[in-house]
Each structure stands twice: as structure tokens, then as C-alpha cells.
């Protein structure tokens, strides 16, 4: 008998064999060796009053249990062009999910639940989409065709999303060079999931139908940081129009990743761009690891087509099994099935992602496809087995395995056992082929779990409920003047001004460039000062204080204007800003009072300098010459702030 | 058909395709003032303008290119697509009931041509099996396409042909009949078949769908399963309409053909029984009667087929200030019967009286129903009603207007004798007139009321 697999040692050994390195130690050479490839689908909600295809208000949300009615639907696969059922379609059908929609009268009408055909497309949304498409240098189509894109997970009650291409073939400039854009589409947003337990998936319909654009890039990004850079750029570009929604969930992206020899895998719904590098790094290595597993399996199993697992129902009492976990499952009426996987020894505990091994790929699919809630399985190479070694020995006896086989046990309700067994076999068979096409759900630690089978290409067809909308040159030219300066030009402008780079992310995320530009050009303040007031002072204040809905960035413009008109020294703005932020309705005069500002003539302040010099010289103990001006500045700062430029004052003290 | 290579294109759009020698289904590179576009040229829908050319681009989406912006076009390849529903042999299972699906032209099961958006109906048992494989677990299905007309074009010819076909199927020993039908006029056909096929020994179930089956959330598949279950296994041998109960995918209703009406333009749960409860609910598990007084399934093969219809029958919806010439012109054009849909309890304004008198004098049969749909005609309550009856207008109790129209056509197809027409119209057939209205026959709740809101929140709509 061969030595049994030590799961932890095997995990570590296979991680080394895959060549996994943490992202901090990876460089371009690492990614070139893996053949890293990535593209983006960046979603951005548009700031409109109403939804895209009905007159419900957009942007009003409910809690998960706040609803007026529930509706139940099931999604059936429809036939594809070749008369075959799509892969995802079949999977979703296999799961036999009962989809429950929670409806609130205020935010959803009969359109959202597919009991009324669509109303004409929201023109405000269309014009914003055109504006962003122009900004992305896309070629605007001559006629907008509403298309149905099938989604069978239930996230849209119709079973498809209405979506339309606005522009094709554009580009955005990145540091390394341009990234090409495939297209920009205008589409309706989907439902928000409330829960997905067993055979019931529940959604709320408040977000459903809100206008959204999707910008799709070519897979031009060659390393994880570039993916983030491209994503940030697209998001900043969208926000630069000032016509998109901000806040949680208003911008989300799907990230496509593959390695050489791998497959396009879509990481869906990444809400923070900061997560992208770690997620793409790990996904690329996961695919690399699956290819390694494939190589090892093919070496052991020469004819994968003939590969077949065997299975047996676990009889806890008859076999005298003692593990408390097994006894508890039996008492809950769950069925347990043991499966022998020929040639899979070492594969189950094979590294796939940090903290995950190949067995997790099986557990993920058992949850999603067979609706078995996790924990749903145990296996012969688990680091912490739920089943005792003695029980495992007894179970293996029933399976009569050969050397080099691996075993697993899964459990669930009787009606799901057949699907579960098929799911295990299907996923193991895929291991011989390499990387399955799938969408994966991102986790905060930078790893992912199985979400769905990736839909096929044939899931798009024309919406017979809508007429095409012509886009004439004249219409596009009417929109063009409102298109803002390109983000890249804004980057360049800030660099030329000398605004520190650590301010950029905050400024572009909140689309503050237009207001900064106005303060600089209309009021004549120095751009570095203005840039840091926004990019550092305001950022800091925002992180430490609460504000009210009355606060707008335009009020900060008002503050600059006031300071200029009053002839105050600009530095006082940094002192007034925290008060303005917390009490946006307070007038500027009161803000000055609240920070104990008193008007003092410049001469009066300067006249105190000789006295203070005298004082420090008579009392100081240190011989350091820099002490003197520092101390004097300290004494004068409060009264000087706003009355005299601090830099000038400091120079006067030093030289005067 | 030389023009077929430019399918759907006309006028200026057609000229552009001809000029650059690019065909429909050709892969094209298009140079425009907005930049280059690439894709497969798709057919153009007839009702769309002639200013755009439709392309399917590589990502599967369709876009239109404005011909005013086109500077050059080049065909780089050609690939015509042909689509059909895949046929799979419908399996015959011994022991399952034999059900016949009669097609009228409505598409209960269909799929879209992904490129053009055209609907390809699925109809043969093999096609239906490909689309709804569960049907094979319910019955042994055979199909016959009687005609291909849209719901709104169904009329007397089709009613009669259907009745005859049903009679033939019953004679041949079928266990149940399903009729696929567009939903808009389904209740007219349901009434017609109730009168033309009396006392059938097996269920006759009409079914349609409010969302075509090319949609994943379509009601078509479930409706078909419900209808075949009701036809093959159900014990109610009447003409019925089988459509969604709630808008949720939960259960279907079986409505009596004489009391059913389409009540919403687009809801799935659009069919309602008016003035009574539905006959039964149906799920894949079987039929569960709500009413106890239905006509049960029988083993014999007898049915009375009476395929008659007089086409010169009209239905007029009374509105305030209706002019007498509305009725005079019907009489002038040779109409033999008029159903008035009167206000409230069954009234029209005084200026119409002489016209009604003239009509009756010319032998036209005039009957009264109500716009409220629910409730009875009560012409004794006010003088106006009594006046109208004196002038020969016959109140039809709580018969629904569309049912009254169909019934009058059917009666006048058999007799013109005034007393006999009146007797036949008032002799109830399958509850077209009910002797009483149960308290739960009229339940049109209004939203906003706390107890209704509570109900709606608890019970799936």
C-alpha cells in the first residue's frame, strides 16, 4: 500500500510546483511567464430621475424585508441557434430554483416583473450614454437596436436584460499606451439578491431597470495593476461628466482573466477597484494550477473518456460509523454518498488559490448547481476531516479503491442527490480538459468561488417589443459641446500645475477637477494650493467628520470666492473648511467667528516681531538658530491666519 | 426571387446595398463618417425606415448604420443562416392518456430566430417535445394544425371548423383536446365552442400564453403542462380556458368557456371568471375542482356538434349621446341581430328609442347586456328599462357581452323565429346565464387598504 497523502504537505508541494508567488513578489516577468491576459466590463449607473424602460423612480432603495408583494417565477432555458440548450441555461434549469421577487409599489411597477411590455427608452439616459461614448472615443452607431441578453439566474424577471450598443471601437490612454475598447452599451440594471438558500433564491426589485452603461475593453491588460489602472480610468471618465450615480453599487465591474492555455473566466461584480489586482493575480494562478492538475491527471489516466467514478450510499448504522458529524446528518434525514475518484489521489488537496484546493471547486459547484448548502462534503485529503480515520477506512472498504484513487463524501436531501453526483463527475471530467468556462464570485481576501457556468455566445436576440432608435449627426452634435475634457488631459493639466499625485485619485473619484479649474481660472488662486485643499484637506475632513446633504463642492467654490472678496489670506480656507463641511448652511462670516478669527492689520502683526525676538533671545537655552523663527511663528499663527500670508510672514521673521 | 438577397430593404437603403454590392447575410466592412463598422448584414424589418442598414457585430449585438454616413462598403464573406426548431421523436408511453393539440395559429411554443428576431413557431409533437420535454410525462401528444391565423382574425369559419374537428377527434376516441389559441380573442372562441360542441365526453381545453416561449420567463410551457394535464387527466368534460391563476408560476385556473374574459392587456393572470368562481385550479399534480357542479368526463363518444353561425350580428357599446343612426345603419346594412352593451342596469338614452323600434319592426333581434360586466341587467327598476323592453329589447340577465354576441350569431344561424330566438338565448348553456351570483363572484379589491395590502404581501400575486 502506498503512503497516504499528507494534505498539508501536498498542498504546499503543489503550490511550489505551480510556482505561486504572492503579488508583492510578482513582476512583469511573472505575468509574462503565465501569459496573463485580462479585460474589463465596467458598469456605471446613470443619474436619471426614472428607470430605463418604465417610469418608476430610479435610485430609491429598500431594505431586504421591506416589500409589498412577492412574485414567484422559474426560468426555463430556451433553445439556442443550433437547437442546443446553452450551458448556463442547462445548469440553471438543473438547479430548479424557485425565484422570489420582492416588490415595493413605490419602486417597481408591472414592467419590472414582466407583466407589461417596455415603455419607450429613457432619452435622458440615452444622451448621457452618448456623451460618455464620445468621451471614450467610440464610434457612435447610426441606429440603436434594443437587444435581449439572456440571464437565467433570475436576476431579471424577464429572463433577459434589455441592452443596446451605443458605440463601438474606442480607446482610453493608459501609462503604457492605449487600451482598446470593444463597445459601450446602455442597459437596464438587475435585481439585488436577498438570499440564495437551497432551492429558493430571493431578489428585491428596487435597483431593477435602472439605467446603466457597460464599457467593455479588449483583453489588453498584461498585469494586475494595469487592470486596476484601466478600471480607475474608465470610472473617472464616467464620473467626469457629473451625470452618473456614485455610492455603493453605482459602479461595479466584471473582470475577465485567463492564462496561457487557460480559459476566459469572469470575476463578477467587483465593487472596489482596489480588489482587482489581488483577484486577477490569484485567478491567473488558479488557472495555472488547474493546468498543472490536468497534466498530472493525464499522466495517470491515459484515456479520460473511459474515466468513471463509482459511488455508494453511506450506511451509518449498518457500517457502524461513529463520527458525530455523520450521525447528525443522518438524524437530519440527509442522504450521504461516497464517491471513489480513480486516479485523483493528490488532486483533491492540490493548490488552486491561497487557502483553497481542488476539492473547493467541487464544493462550490455542489452548492450552486445541486443546491447543497455548505459544508456539503468531506474528502480523503481534507486538512481537517469531518469524518474520523476509522470511519474513512470503513467507507473506503465499500468503495474498493485502487492505489492512486481519492474519495469524497457529500450529503444533502434525497431529491438533490442525483444532480449532485452528476455535478461531481462533470467537474472531475473537466479537470482532464483544464480550465472550465465559468463566472466566479470575488471574496474580500482576493480569492474567488464558483458562481455560474459562463453563458454561451448565442444568448442575444432582438427585442421584438422595441423599435430601433435612429441617432442622427445633428443629435450627436447637440450633445458634443457638453462632453467634458478627457480625463487624460486633466491628469496632464494637474501634473503641469504641480498638484501632488497623491491628490489625483480623490479628485477624479469625486469629479472635482471642474471645480478646481474654476477656482484657479476664475478666482486666480494657485493651482497647487487649490489642488491640495481638495485632494488633501477636504479628503482628510471627509474621513473624520459627518456632513449633511446640503454640502456640495460648489460651496467650497463659494468659500474660495468669499476669501478672495474679503481680501483674506488663503490659508484660512483650510481652517474654515471643516466647519463648512459639518455645517454647510452656516454663512461664512459665522464660520470665521466660530474659529475665533479677528481682523488684524498686517502692520500690527509685523510690529510684534521685534518684541518676540527680544523675548526668545532672553529666554532660550538652545543655540539652534532655527528655533527662533519657529517659536515666533507659533506665537503669531493664530492671529496671522487669514490676515497675512504665512509664507510671507515666515520670511519676514527670518530676514526682517 | 432576385430581390430576396436584400431581404426587407427598400428605397435608399436598398440602393446603398446595391451600389456597394453587399447582400443580406454578407459579412461587411462599412466605412462611415463616424468611423469603420464591421458585421453581418441582417434583414430589415418591413415596418422600419429605409435610412439604416442593420449589422450583427462580433459581440452578438445588433446595430444600425445610418446610410447618410456611409462612404464605402465591402462584402468580405457570406453566410446565410437557416433556423428551425429541432425535432425530437415524442415518446409514446403506454398508460398515459392520448391528447390532441389543435393549432389555430397562435404561437404557444416558439423560439426566436436569433439573427432576425422572427418568431419560429414550434408545433409538431417533436418540436414541442424539444421545447417542453415535460409534456411526455403527462400524455401521449399528437397535433394537427387547422389553420394559421392571428387571434384577432379568428371568426365564424374557424369556430365551425374547430367544432367539426373536435367532433371527429371525440369520435376517434381521444382522451382530451387542447386548443392552442392567441389570447386576445380566446374568450370569443371559448364561448363559440361551448355552444357548438355540447355535452362533450372529454375535456376541451383552450390555452395560450401572455409571454412568448422564446423568453426564459414565459408562461407558455407551464400553461401547456397545465392544459395537457387538464385534458388528459382532469375529470371536467367542458370547454374551458386554462391560463395562469396568479402572475406567479404557481397554478393555473380552468375557466368555464362562457364566463371567462381577458381582463388585462399584458398580465399573465389576465383571464378571470366573471360573476362566479373558476371551475378549478390545475397544477402538474392534477386538477382540483373549485366548483362541484361541472359536467364529468364520460366513457361514451357522443357529442352534439352544432356548427352554425349567422355573421350579420353586431355588438354596440353604448356611450352618452349615441345617435340613432348608429342603429339605423346596422339595420340598413342587413344586420339580423344586435347586442347592446348598455349602461348600469341596462339602459340607453331616449333618442335611440325610435331607432330601436324601427330595428325590431324590421325583424332585427335586439338584446341587452351591461358594461359593468359583473351583475345582471335589471330593466324593471326604472321606467326607461320598462320602455325599452316594451319596444322589444330582451334583457340577457348576467350573460357577458362577448358571449351574448357569439350566442346570438349561433342562434340566428339556426332560426329566425322571434320566440324561438328569445327562448334559445335565455336557455342557459354551461352557465352563460347563472341563476344566482355567489358572494365571491365579484371580488375586485382595491390597493391601499390595509387588509388588502396585508393579503397581497402574504399571498403570491
Mean pLDDT on A275-292 = 98
- Domain final position from B289, B305, B321: B305
Examine residue B335 and state whether it is found in any structural domain, yes or no: yes
Q: What is the pLDDT of residues B170-208, one digit of tens each?
A: 999 999 999 999 899 999 999 999 999 999 999 999 999
pLDDT at B107 over 90: no
For residue A228, the distance in angstroms to the closest alpha carbon of chain B comes to 24
**Alpha-carbon A157 to chain mean position:** 24
Q: Hey, are the CB atoms on B63 and A165 less than 8 Å from each other?
A: yes
| b/e A383-409 (16+ beta carbons within 10 angstroms → b) | eebbbeeebbebbeebbebeeebbbbb
Residue B439 covered by a domain = no
Q: Are both B289 and B360 inside the same structural domain?
A: no
Say whether pLDDT at B85 is over 70: no
Report the range of poorest mean pLDDT among A89-93, A390-394, A505-509. A89-93
Residue B85 belongs to a domain: no
Tell me the per-residue pLDDT of A180-193, one tens digit each, with 9 for 90 and over. 999 999 999 999 99
Question: Residue B86 falls within a domain, yes or no?
Answer: no
Same domain, B226 and B357: no
When scoring A62, A80, A115 by the number of chain B Cβ atoms within 10 A, the one with the most, hence best to mutate, is: A115
Shared-domain flag, residues B108 and B9: no
Do residue B235 and residue B287 come from a single domain? yes
Using CA atoms, how far apart are residues A516 and A504, in angstroms rounded to an integer? 12
Cell of residue A34, nine digits: 503565465
Is it the case that residue B3 has pLDDT exceeding 80?
Answer: no
Q: What SS3 class is residue B174?
A: coil
Q: Can B183 be counted among the known catalytic residues? A: yes
Distances from the Cα of A255 to the Cα of A27, A279, A451, B339, angstroms:
20, 9, 14, 65
What distance in Å separates the CA atoms of residue A213 and residue B373, rounded to the nearest whole number? 47
**What does the pLDDT read at residue A63?**
94
Min CA distance, A340 vs chain B (Å)? 33
Given the DSSP bridges, would you call strands B394-395 and B365-370 parallel, antiparallel or unpaired? parallel
CA dist., res. B228 & res. B265, Å (int):
25
Instruction: List the grid coordinates of B148.
Output: 394559421
Average pLDDT, integer, range B213-230: 91
- How far apart (Å, rounded) are the C-alpha atoms in residues A485 and A513? 10
Q: How far is CA B395 from its chain centroid?
A: 27
What's the pLDDT band for B1 if we cut at 50, 70, 90? very low
Q: Please give the tally of structural domains in chain B.
A: 3
Give which of A125, A235, A251 is closest to A185, Cα–Cα.
A125
| C-alpha cell recorded at residue A407 | 474519495
Closest chain A C-alpha to B83 CA, distance in angstroms: 7
Q: Does B134 lie in the same domain as B102?
A: yes
Find the angle CA(A27)-CA(A32)-CA(A37) to the nearest 5 degrees: 105
Question: Is B107 an active-site residue?
Answer: yes
Beta-carbon contacts of residue A10 (< 8 Å; ≥ 6 apart): A346, A349, A350, A381
Surface of A (101-120) touching B: CB under 8 A = 105, 110, 113-117
What CATH number does the domain containing B412 carry? Answer: 3.40.50.40
Q: Which SS3 state, helix, strand or coil, does residue B406 take?
A: helix
What are A448-481's pLDDT values in tens digits?
Answer: 999 988 776 667 888 888 899 999 999 999 999 9
The 10 Å Cβ neighbour count of residue A600 is 15
B391 shares a domain with B247: no
Name the region of A567 (left: φ>0; alpha: ψ -120 to 50; beta: rest): left
Has residue A1 got a pLDDT over 60? no
Task: Inform me whether the pLDDT recorded for B75 exceeds 80.
Answer: yes
> If you search the block for the grid coordinates 370569443, which residue do you land on?
B188
Closest-CA residue of B relative to A462 is B117
Contact B64 A470 (CB under 8 A): yes
> Would you call B262 a catalytic residue per the annotation?
yes
Q: What percentage of residues in chain A have a pLDDT greater than 70? A: 96
Q: Do A83 and B81 touch (CB under 8 A)?
A: no
Model pTM score: 0.87
- CA proximity to A542, closest of A515, A507, A569, A572: A507
Same domain, B160 and B69: no
Chain A: residue nearest B81 by CA? A81
Specify the CATH number for the domain of residue B234.
3.40.50.1170
Contact across the interface for A79 and B131, Cβ inside 8 Å: yes
B454: in domain? no
Q: Can you tell me the mean pLDDT for A95-114?
A: 92
% chain B with pLDDT above 90: 76
If asked whether residues B295 and B318 sit together in one domain, one would say no
In the structure, what pLDDT confidence band is assigned to residue B111 with cuts at 50, 70 and 90?
low
* B60 contacts in chain A (CB < 8 Å): 147, 457-460
pLDDT score, position A635: 82
Q: Do the beta carbons of residue B242 and residue B253 sit within 8 Å?
A: yes
Q: Residue B27: give its domain's CATH number.
A: 2.30.30.520
Distance CA A592, CA A597 (A): 5
Mean pLDDT, residues A75-103? 68
DSSP state of B433: S
Asked if A142 and B34 come within 8 Å (Cβ–Cβ), the reply is yes
For residue A460, give the nearest of B60, B83, B130 by CB distance.
B60
- Assess contact for A252 and A502: CB atoms under 8 A: no
Residue B261 has pLDDT above 60, yes or no: yes
Tell me if B248 and A71 make a contact (CB, 8 A cut-off): yes
Catalytic one among B183, B228, B273, B369? Answer: B183
Among B78, B113, B135, give the residue marking a domain's end.
Answer: B78
Which distant-in-sequence residues (6+ apart) come within 8 Å of A73 by Cβ?
Answer: A99, A101, A114, A154, A157, B217, B248, B249
Whether residue B184 lies in the annotated active site: yes
User: What is the predicted pLDDT for the residue at A93?
Assistant: 64
**In a shared domain, residues B317 and B340:** yes
Note the pLDDT of residue A81: 42
ipTM for the assembly: 0.89
- In this structure, the answer to whether residues B150 and B289 fall within a common structural domain is yes
Domain membership flag for residue B447: no
- Are B187 and B208 contacting, i.e. CB atoms less than 8 angstroms apart? no
Same domain, B139 and B264: yes
Residue-wise pLDDT tens digits, A512-549: 999 999 999 999 999 999 999 999 999 999 999 999 98
pLDDT at B304: 93
Q: pLDDT confidence of B2, banded at 50, 70, 90?
A: very low
DSSP character at residue B68 = G
Asked if the structure places residue B435 within a domain, the reply is no
Q: In the prediction, which pLDDT does A456 show?
A: 64
How far A140 CA lies from chain B's nearest CA (Å)?
A: 7
Q: For residue B31, with 0-12 CB atoms within 10 Å meaning exposed, 13-18 middle and 19 or more buried, which class applies?
A: middle
CB contacts of B117 in chain A (<8 Å) are 461-464
Q: Chain B contacts of A116, Cβ < 8 Å?
A: 266-267
C-alpha cell at A580: 463648512
pLDDT in tens, A393-444: 999 999 999 999 999 999 999 999 999 999 999 999 999 999 999 999 999 9
Prior bond of A512 cis (ω within 30°): no
Q: Is A157 on the interface with B (CB under 8 A)?
A: yes
Whose CA is closest to A291, among A581, A33, A556, A549? A33
Partners of residue B453 in chain A, C-beta under 8 Å: 68
Contacts of A622 (CB under 8 A, 6+ apart): none
For residue B384, the model assigns a pLDDT of 80
- Summarize pLDDT for A365-378 with one digit per residue, the tens: 999 989 999 999 99
Q: What is the mean pLDDT of chain A?
A: 91
Give a yes or no: residue B69 inside a domain.
yes
Contacts of A459 in chain B (CB under 8 A): 60
* Domains, chain A, with CATH or none: 7-17+296-436 (3.30.1360.30), 35-264 (no CATH), 484-655 (no CATH)
Chain B touched by A147 (CB under 8 Å): yes
Region B52-78 average pLDDT: 94
Beta-carbon separation of A67 and B54 below 8 A: no
Could you count the other beta carbons within 10 Å of the beta carbon of residue A22?
11
Instruction: Determine, for residues A458 and B60 on separate chains, whether the beta-carbon distance falls below 8 Å.
Output: yes
Give me the domain span that covers residue B152. Answer: 98-305
Given a cut of 50, is residue B432 above it in pLDDT?
Answer: yes
pLDDT of B256 above 80 = yes
Cβ atoms of A239 and A487 within 8 Å: the answer is no
Decide: B271 and B261 in contact? Cβ < 8 Å: yes
| More confident site: A113 or A96 | A113
Gap between the Cα atoms of A130 and A122, Å rounded: 13
pLDDT at residue A82 above 50? no
Of the candidates B184, B283, B291, B295, the residue annotated as catalytic is: B184
Report whether pLDDT(A94) > 90: no
Query: What whole-number distance in Å separates Cα of residue B222 and Cα of residue A158?
Result: 15
Scanning A471-597, the segments in alpha helix (DSSP H) are 473-479, 487-497, 504-509, 513-523, 527-532, 539-544, 553-565, 572-582, 588-594
Judgement on whether residues B73 and B110 belong to the same structural domain of the protein: no
pLDDT one-digit tens code per residue, A30-43: 999 999 999 999 99
Three-point CA angle B286, B288, B294, nearest 5°:
120
Chain Cα centroid distance, residue A573: 35
DSSP A417-453: HHHHHHHHHHHHHHHHH----EEEEE-TTS-EEEEEE
In B, minimum Cα distance to A143 occurs at B64
| pLDDT, chain B, mean | 92
HEC secondary structure over A199-257: CEEEEECCCCCCEEEEEEECCCECCHHHHHHHHHHHHHHHHHCCCECCCCCCEEEEEEE
What per-residue confidence (pLDDT) applies to A656? 62
CA A122 to centroid of chain Cα atoms: 26
For residue A610, what pLDDT band results from cuts at 50, 70 and 90?
A: confident
Amino acid at each position: 500500500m502506498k503512503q497516504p497523502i499528507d494534505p498539508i504537505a501536498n498542498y504546499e508541494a503543489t503550490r511550489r510546483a505551480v510556482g505561486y508567488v504572492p503579488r508583492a513578489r510578482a513582476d512583469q516577468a511573472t505575468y509574462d511567464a503565465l501569459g496573463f491576459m485580462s479585460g474589463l466590463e465596467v458598469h456605471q449607473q446613470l443619474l436619471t430621475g426614472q428607470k430605463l424602460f418604465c417610469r418608476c423612480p430610479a435610485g430609491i432603495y429598500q431594505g431586504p424585508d421591506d416589500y409589498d408583494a412577492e412574485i414567484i417565477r422559474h426560468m426555463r432555458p430556451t433553445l439556442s441557434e443550433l437547437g442546443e440548450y446553452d450551458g448556463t441555461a442547462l445548469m440553471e434549469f438543473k438547479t430548479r430554483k424557485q425565484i422570489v421577487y420582492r416588490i415595493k409599489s413605490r419602486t417597481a411597477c408591472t414592467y419590472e416583473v414582466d407583466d407589461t411590455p417596455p415603455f419607450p427608452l429613457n432619452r435622458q439616459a440615452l444622451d448621457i450614454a452618448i456623451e460618455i461614448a464620445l468621451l471614450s472615443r467610440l464610434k457612435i452607431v447610426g441606429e440603436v437596436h434594443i437587444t435581449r441578453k439572456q440571464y437565467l439566474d433570475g436576476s431579471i424577471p424577464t429572463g433577459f436584460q434589455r441592452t443596446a450598443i451605443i458605440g463601438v471601437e474606442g480607446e482610453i490612454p493608459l501609462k503604457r499606451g492605449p487600451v482598446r475598447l470593444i463597445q459601450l452599451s446602455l442597459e437596464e440594471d438587475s435585481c439585488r439578491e436577498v438570499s440564495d438558500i437551497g432551492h429558493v433564491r430571493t431578489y428585491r426589485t428596487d435597483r431593477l431597470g435602472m439605467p446603466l452603461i457597460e464599457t467593455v475593453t479588449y483583453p489588453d491588460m498584461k498585469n494586475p495593476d494595469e487592470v486596476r489602472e484601466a478600471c480607475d480610468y474608465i470610472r473617472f471618465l464616467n464620473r467626469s461628466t457629473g451625470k452618473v450615480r456614485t455610492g455603493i453599487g453605482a459602479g461595479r465591474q466584471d473582470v475577465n482573466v485567463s492564462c496561457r492555455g487557460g480559459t476566459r473566466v469572469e470575476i463578477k461584480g467587483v465593487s472596489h477597484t482596489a480588489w482587482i489586482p489581488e483577484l486577477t493575480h490569484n485567478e491567473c494562478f488558479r488557472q495555472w494550477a488547474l493546468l498543472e492538475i490536468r497534466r498530472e491527471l493525464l499522466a495517470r489516466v491515459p484515456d479520460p473518456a473511459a474515466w468513471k467514478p463509482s459511488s455508494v450510499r453511506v450506511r451509518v448504522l449498518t457500517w457502524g460509523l461513529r463520527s458525530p458529524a455523520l450521525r447528525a446528518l443522518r438524524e437530519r434525514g440527509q442522504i450521504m454518498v461516497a464517491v471513489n475518484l480513480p486516479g485523483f489521489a493528490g488532486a483533491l488537496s492540490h493548490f488552486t488559490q491561497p487557502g483553497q484546493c481542488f476539492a473547493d471547486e467541487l464544493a462550490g459547484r455542489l452548492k450552486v448547481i445541486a443546491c447543497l448548502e455548505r459544508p456539503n462534503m468531506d474528502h480523503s485529503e481534507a486538512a481537517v476531516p469531518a469524518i474520523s480515520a476509522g470511519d474513512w477506512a470503513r467507507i473506503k472498504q465499500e468503495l474498493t479503491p485502487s492505489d492512486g484513487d481519492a474519495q469524497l463524501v457529500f450529503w444533502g436531501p434525497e431529491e438533490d442527490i442525483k444532480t449532485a453526483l452528476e455535478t461531481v463527475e462533470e467537474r472531475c471530467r473537466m479537470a482532464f480538459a483544464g480550465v472550465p468556462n465559468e463566472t466566479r464570485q470575488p471574496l474580500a481576501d482576493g480569492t474567488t468561488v464558483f458562481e455560474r457556468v459562463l453563458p454561451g455566445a448565442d444568448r442575444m436576440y432582438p427585442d421584438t417589443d422595441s423599435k430601433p432608435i435612429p441617432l442622427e449627426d445633428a443629435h450627436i452634435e447637440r450633445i458634443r459641446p457638453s462632453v467634458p475634457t478627457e480625463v487624460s488631459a486633466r491628469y496632464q493639466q494637474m501634473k503641469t500645475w504641480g498638484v501632488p499625485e497623491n491628490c489625483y485619485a480623490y479628485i477624479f473619484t469625486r469629479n472635482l477637477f471642474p471645480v478646481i479649474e474654476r477656482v484657479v481660472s476664475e478666482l486666480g488662486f494657485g493651482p497647487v494650493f487649490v489642488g491640495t485643499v481638495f485632494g488633501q484637506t477636504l479628503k482628510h475632513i471627509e474621513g473624520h467628520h459627518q456632513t449633511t446633504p446640503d454640502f456640495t463642492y460648489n460651496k467650497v467654490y463659494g468659500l474660495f470666492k468669499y476669501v478672495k472678496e474679503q481680501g483674506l489670506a488663503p490659508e484660512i480656507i483650510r481652517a474654515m473648511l471643516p466647519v463648512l463641511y459639518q455645517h454647510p448652511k452656516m454663512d461664512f462670516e459665522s464660520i470665521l467667528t466660530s474659529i475665533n478669527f479677528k481682523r488684524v492689520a498686517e502692520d500690527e502683526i509685523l510690529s510684534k516681531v521685534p518684541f518676540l525676538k527680544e523675548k526668545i533671545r532672553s529666554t532660550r537655552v538652545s543655540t539652534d538658530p532655527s528655533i527662533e523663527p519657529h517659536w515666533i511663528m507659533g506665537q503669531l499663527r493664530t492671529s496671522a491666519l487669514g490676515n497675512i500670508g504665512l509664507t510671507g510672514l515666515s520670511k519676514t521673521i527670518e530676514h526682517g | 426571387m432576385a430581390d430576396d438577397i436584400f431581404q426587407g430593404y427598400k428605397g435608399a437603403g436598398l440602393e446603398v446595398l446595391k451600389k456597394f454590392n453587399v447582400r443580406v447575410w454578407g459579412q461587411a466592412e462599412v466605412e462611415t463618417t463616424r468611423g469603420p463598422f464591421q458585421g453581418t448584414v441582417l434583414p430589415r424589418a418591413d415596418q422600419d425606415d429605409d435610412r439604416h442598414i442593420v449589422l450583427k457585430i462580433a459581440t452578438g449585438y445588433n446595430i444600425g448604420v445610418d446610410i447618410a454616413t456611409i462612404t464605402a462598403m465591402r462584402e468580405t464573406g457570406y453566410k446565410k443562416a437557416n433556423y428551425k426548431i429541432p425535432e425530437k421523436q415524442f415518446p409514446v408511453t403506454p398508460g398515459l392518456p392520448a391528447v390532441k393539440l389543435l393549432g389555430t395559429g397562435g404561437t404557444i411554443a416558439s423560439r426566436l430566430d436569433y439573427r432576425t428576431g422572427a418568431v419560429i413557431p414550434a408545433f409538431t409533437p417533436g418540436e414541442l417535445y424539444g421545447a417542453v420535454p415535460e409534456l411526455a410525462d403527462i400524455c401521449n401528444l399528437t397535433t394537427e394544425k387547422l389553420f394559421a391565423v392571428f387571434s384577432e382574425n379568428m371568426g365564424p369559419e374557424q369556430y365551425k371548423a374547430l367544432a367539426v374537428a373536435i367532433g371527429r377527434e371525440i369520435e376517434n376516441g381521444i382522451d382530451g383536446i387542447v386548443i392552442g389559441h392567441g389570447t386576445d380573442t380566446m374568450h370569443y372562441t371559448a364561448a363559440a365552442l361551448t355552444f357548438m360542441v355540447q355535452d362533450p365526453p372529454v375535456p376541451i381545453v383552450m390555452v395560450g400564453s401572455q409571454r412568448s416561449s422564446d423568453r426564459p420567463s414565459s408562461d407558455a410551457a407551464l400553461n401547456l403542462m397545465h392544459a395537457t394535464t387538464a385534458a388528459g387527466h382532469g375529470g371536467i368534460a367542458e370547454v374551458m380556458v386554462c391560463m395562469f391563476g396568479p402572475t406567479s408560476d404557481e397554478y393555473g385556473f380552468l375557466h368555464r368557456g362562457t364566463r371567462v374574459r381577458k381582463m388585462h392587456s399584458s398580465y399573465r393572470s389576465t383571464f378571470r371568471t366573471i360573476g362566479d368562481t373558476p371551475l378549478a385550479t390545475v397544477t402538474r399534480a392534477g386538477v382540483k375542482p373549485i366548483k362541484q357542479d361541472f359536467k364529468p368526463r364520460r366513457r361514451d363518444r357522443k357529442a352534439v356538434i352544432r356548427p352554425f353561425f349567422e355573421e350579420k350580428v353586431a355588438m354596440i357599446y353604448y356611450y352618452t349621446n349615441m345617435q340613432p343612426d348608429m342603429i339605423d345603419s346596422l339595420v340598413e346594412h342587413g344586420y339580423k341581430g344586435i347586442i347592446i352593451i348598455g349602461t348600469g342596469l341596462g339602459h340607453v338614452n331616449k333618442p335611440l328609442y325610435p331607432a330601436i323600434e324601427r330595428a325590431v319592426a324590421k325583424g332585427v333581434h335586439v338584446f341587452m347586456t351591461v358594461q359593468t360586466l359583473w351583475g345582471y341587467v335589471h330593466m324593471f327598476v326604472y321606467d326607461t328599462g320598462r320602455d325599452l323592453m316594451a319596444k322589444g329589447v330582451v334583457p340577457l340577465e348576467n350573460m357577458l357581452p362577448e358571449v351574448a354576441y357569439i350566442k346570438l350569431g349561433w342562434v340566428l344561424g339556426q332560426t329566425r323565429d322571434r320566440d324561438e330566438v328569445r327562448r334559445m338565448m335565455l336557455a342557459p348553456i354551461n352557465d352563460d346565464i347563472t341563476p344566482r351570483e355567489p358572494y365571491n363572484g365579484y371580488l375586485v379589491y382595491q390597493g391601499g387598504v390595509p387588509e388588502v395590502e396585508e393579503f397581497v404581501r402574504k399571498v403570491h400575486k
